[in-house]
Amino acid sequence: MLLAAGRGERLRPLTDTAPKALVEVNGVSLLERHLRQLSAAGIVNVVINTGWLGEKIVERVGSGRQYGLQVVYSPEYAALLETGGGVHRALPLLGTEPFWVVNADIVCDWPFVVPALAEDIDAQLVLVPNPGYRDNGDFSLEAGRVRNGSVRPYTFSGIACYRPRFFAGCTQGRFGLAPMLQQAADEGRLSGEVYDGLWADIGTPERLAALSARLQEVGSDGT
């Protein structure tokens, strides 16, 4: 599932006329980059939640056939449901097996290797070393388990593999994933892996420009 419903306030004016997921990095939209990566990893079925200007996403991506994918949509036009609420609403579309959830407003060359989840693990997070603009991150990692340590050297990348049961007990509505992840870390229900490759959160124009320059330096178009 690609989370693509957000308004992208910090990226205005770019997001005044386009959804955040269609913001381009060196001529390639964030969403297109994700779809190409998922297809290359052998993933076939993709759910995209849509909200702000979501009709432009549907128009651009359609059925997903041009990417070798089968894309369906989980619309949130009446009210945005945030990350947790958006995934919970889409659960009937996601099946009974573990599934990936990816924030559409990141750029990352993580290869989407399906993790072997231990029986007592409800989700595995991809973590990255804290970027320079963060003094403290989201989590620590101890023997492969994600924890809420006093020192948190890792930032949640926005990529995770969830068992459907992670959302057991949730009710329909607007809520975020962050509090759920923190509780699950306290309870030892999260595993994690640190990724040192390309990752960027392009939540502001400054970060978007920095990523564009970085990719130009290495001769990449961002795909």
- The reported pTM is 0.92
The whole-number average pLDDT for the span 76-105 is 94
Q: Which domains does the chain have, with CATH numbers?
A: 2-217 (3.90.550.10)
Confidence of residue 176 (pLDDT cuts 50, 70, 90): very high
pLDDT value at residue 11: 72
Note the pLDDT tens digit of each residue in 110-145: 988 888 899 999 999 999 999 888 888 999 999 999
Percent of the chain's residues with pLDDT above 90: 67
Is residue 147 pLDDT above 90, yes or no? yes
Confidence of residue 63 (pLDDT cuts 50, 70, 90): very high
Is residue 193 pLDDT above 70, yes or no? yes
The whole-number average pLDDT for the span 198-211 is 83
pLDDT value at residue 79: 87
Q: In angstroms, how far is the first alpha carbon of the chain from the final one? A: 19
pLDDT value at residue 27: 83
pLDDT value at residue 146: 97
Percent of the chain's residues with pLDDT above 70: 97
Token pair 């003094």: residue: 135
Supply 199's token pair: 């990752």
